[in-house]
Amino acid sequence: MDAPWKSGLSVTLEKMDNSLTVINCRYPLPNYVGVGVVLPYGTAHALKQFDVDVAHFIEHLFFSGTKTRTKKQIWDEMRSFFMYNAFTMQESMACVMGFHPKDIERATNLVSDMVRNSIFPEAELEKERTPFREEYSMYNDNPRMVATMRLVQELFKDHPLGRERIHTEADINRIMRENVLDVNREQFVPEGAALIFWGTVEERRAAELAEKNFSGFSGKRERVQLPIAQIAQKPETVRMKKKGISQTATVIGMKIPQLKGTGDEFPLVSSGVMMNILNSMLLDKLRLEKGLVYGAGATMSPSKTAGLLYAMTLSSPKNANEVLDLATKEIEKLAGGEVTNERVDREKEKLWKASDSGNNDAFNRVIETGLFYVNGIPRYREAYNENIAKVDLDSVRKSAADLLKINRAVSVIVEPE
């Protein structure tokens, strides 16, 4: 099956003299441009548990003032854009804006200023502790988040990817300004980082904006090499009781092999089709046929060090055991090759449509491009539609057999106390 349409996306990568990579994703969006900076530093790179909080706290403080802008000036400027946010993930950190093309000079300068020149004022640091605590409280009150984070801990117990992400007020109160400044100085440098544009930005214009706003960006990164995580895992089920919830969250997950570069583009797309099929199988069995769950789905997070694949369901406590049993059986079915050409074609069509509409979301595509850059496959989106066309029944079955290793899965059930 040939790709039914071309995405119109073209990607160029250029490295500046200071080692910052400029990724320009040209796509016909007449009224929408995205720009962002992605740094190869996340919670897994923290040298010790305490620094996990520091990495995340820096993200919050991006918006608190720079050498040239006050906090009010930053927020007044951002409010004129469509979208703005920052994210801290396990192996990367991002600051992203979405805006009208006429604002590209202003937005690029603002992103540059926040990443390069944040001063992290003491008063703002103290003030930010409250929303920081509230964000962690939100995680801790969400059974899905608790289940997923506990799954990661159980799968990656002895690896930095398994560090705790829900912390106490005492942990948060220990963060001092000097901790933030140390991490900022050592990690917020151009080496390994990327400046990303998405939309109708001419290549020459992207280069000019990069040179104007990032040519003075410098520094040497204090490298933190993450070890490759071991794939071996004994299957187990962990049950957790939690106050204040009425639903039960059940998650079944397993480690998957790390990415190895651009040669992994097609297997990743084929695995994406497989993941869509698993989503449909879980929804069909657990929601439509049995009526046992409120929601069901599966997701896959590739990584340079080790990836994660998991299925999540939400149900009433009385259905938890049956849900776990049936979800496990659906995973085993797909791992054993129980899938049809018709289903493969149906999911390929859905991925094409999602790809075509997703390219119009410059904000999220900047984040995605940055994540794939950090993971070593920055051209993933560029050939996405063509790779979907190559997916067939055999490649989906191979993806399922390679990744759905239920004999080393960990299950976490978070239920009301």
The answer on 184 and 253 residing in a single domain is no
Task: Name the nearest CA neighbour of 52 among 90, 5, 4, 7.
Answer: 90
H-run or E-run covering 176: none
The total domain count for the chain is 2
The answer on 188 and 94 residing in a single domain is yes
The DSSP code for 370 is: H
Q: Tell me whether residue 144 is in a domain.
A: yes
Q: Tell me whether residue 225 is in a domain.
A: no
The answer on 334 and 256 residing in a single domain is yes
Encode pLDDT of 227-241 as tens digits. Answer: 888 888 899 999 999
390, 42 in Cβ contact below 8 A? no
> CA 45, 55, 104, 112: dihedral to nearest 10 degrees?
-90
Domain at 72, CATH number = 3.30.830.10
**Using CA atoms, how far apart are residues 101 and 113, in angstroms rounded to an integer?**
19
Q: pLDDT band for 4, please (50, 70, 90 cuts).
A: low
Encode pLDDT of 259-290 as tens digits. Answer: 766 666 788 889 999 999 999 999 999 999 99
Q: Tell me whether residue 222 is in a domain.
A: no
The answer on 49 and 177 residing in a single domain is yes
Q: Tell me whether residue 201 is in a domain.
A: yes
- Overall average pLDDT of the 372-386 stretch: 81
Instruction: Quote the domain boundaries for residue 249.
Output: 236-416
pLDDT at 1 over 60: no
Q: pLDDT band for 3, please (50, 70, 90 cuts).
A: low
Which of 158, 184, 214 is the last residue in one of the domains? 214
**Using CA atoms, how far apart are residues 66 and 210, in angstroms rounded to an integer?**
19
The answer on 245 and 191 residing in a single domain is no
Residue with the bigger pLDDT between 215 and 161: it is 215
Q: Tell me whether residue 18 is in a domain.
A: yes
Which of 165, 181, 214 is the last residue in one of the domains? 214
The DSSP code for 259 is: P
The answer on 129 and 271 residing in a single domain is no
Q: Please report the DSSP string for 108-121 in residue order.
A: HHHHHHHHHHB---
Strand order in 236-242's β-sheet? 236-242, 410-416, 248-256, 307-315, 293-301
The answer on 171 and 125 residing in a single domain is yes
The answer on 246 and 195 residing in a single domain is no
Q: Tell me whether residue 45 is in a domain.
A: yes
pLDDT at 6 over 70: no
55, 43 in Cβ contact below 8 A? yes
pLDDT at 302 over 80: no
The answer on 199 and 134 residing in a single domain is yes
Q: pLDDT band for 166, please (50, 70, 90 cuts).
A: low
Encode pLDDT of 41-69 as tens digits. Answer: 887 876 555 555 677 788 888 899 999 99
> CA 185, 189, 193, 196: dihedral to nearest 10 degrees?
100
Q: What is the pLDDT of residue 152?
A: 92
The answer on 199 and 266 residing in a single domain is no
Q: Tell me whether residue 231 is in a domain.
A: no
Q: pLDDT band for 179, please (50, 70, 90 cuts).
A: confident
Residue 1's identity, in one-letter code, is M
The answer on 257 and 195 residing in a single domain is no
Cut 0.75: pTM above it: yes
The answer on 384 and 243 residing in a single domain is yes
